[in-house]
Structure 1
Amino acid sequence: MQKLSEMFWRASVEEITKGYVYDEKEKLYICLICGEAFEKGIIYTPDNNKYFEAEKYASYHVSKEHSSMFEYLINLNKKLTGLTDHQKNLLKYFYEGYSDSDIVKATGGGSTSTVRNHRFTLREKEKQAKIFLAIMQLLERNHSPKEKFITIHRGATMIDERYATTEEEKQKILKAYFREGLDGPLENFPARKEKRKIVILSHIAKKFKTGVKYSEKEVNDILKNIYEDYVLIRRYLIQYGFLDRERDCSQYWVK
Structure 2
Amino acid sequence: MDNEYLVKASVDELTQGFLFDEKKNGYICLVCNQVFEDGVIYPFENKLYEARKAIRVHIQAEHTSMFLYLIDLDKRYTGLTETQKELLQCLHMGLSDKEIVQKQKGGSPSTIRNHRFKLREKEKQAKIFLAIMNSLKKHLDKNDDELISIHKGATMVDDRYVITKDEEKKVLETYFKNGLDGPLSTFPSKEKRKIIVLRHLLKRFKKNEIYTEKEINETIKPVYDDFVTIRRYFIEYGFMERSKDGSQYWLKD
Give how far 1:125 is off: 0.8
TM-score under structure 1 length normalisation: 0.85
Give how far 1:105 is off: 0.6
Quick one: which of 138, 142, 147 aligns to 1:141?
A: 138
Q: How far apart in 2 are the matches of 1:95 and 1:52?
A: 28
- Correspondences of 1:161-176 after superposition (within 5 Å): 161-176=159-174
Give the letter aligned to residue 42 of structure 2: Y
2:5 is the counterpart of 1:13: no
Equivalent residue for 1:110? Answer: 107
- Correspondences of 1:1-255 after superposition (within 5 Å): 4-46=2-44, 48-141=45-138, 145-146=142-143, 148-178=146-176, 181-190=179-188, 192-255=189-252
RMSD: 2.5
Q: Which structure has the greater CA radius of gyration?
A: 2
Give how far 1:239 is off: 1.3
Q: Judging changes above 3 Å, is the alpha-carbon distance between structure 1 residues 142 and 220 closer, same or farther for their aligned structure 2 residues?
A: closer
Number of residues paired by the alignment? Answer: 251
Q: Is the 8 A contact 1:27 1:39 kept in 2?
A: yes
Q: How far apart in 2 are the matches of 1:174 and 1:15?
A: 37
Give the letter aligned to residue 31 of structure 1: C
Per-residue CA deviations over 1:199-245 (Å, capped at 9, x if unaligned) read 22233334444444444344334434543322222221211122222
SS, match of residue 51 in structure 1:
strand
Q: Judging changes above 3 Å, is the alpha-carbon distance between structure 1 residues 193 and 186 closer, same or farther for their aligned structure 2 residues?
A: same
Give how far 1:100 is off: 0.7
Whose relative contact order is higher, 1 or 2, with alpha carbons under 8 Å and at least 6 apart? 1
Q: Is the 8 A contact 1:34 1:211 kept in 2?
A: no
Greater mean deviation of Cα atoms: 96-105 or 142-151: 142-151
TM-score under structure 2 length normalisation: 0.86
Structure 2 residue runs without a partner (length 5+): none
Give the letter aligned to residue 203 of structure 1: H
SS, match of residue 186 in structure 1:
coil
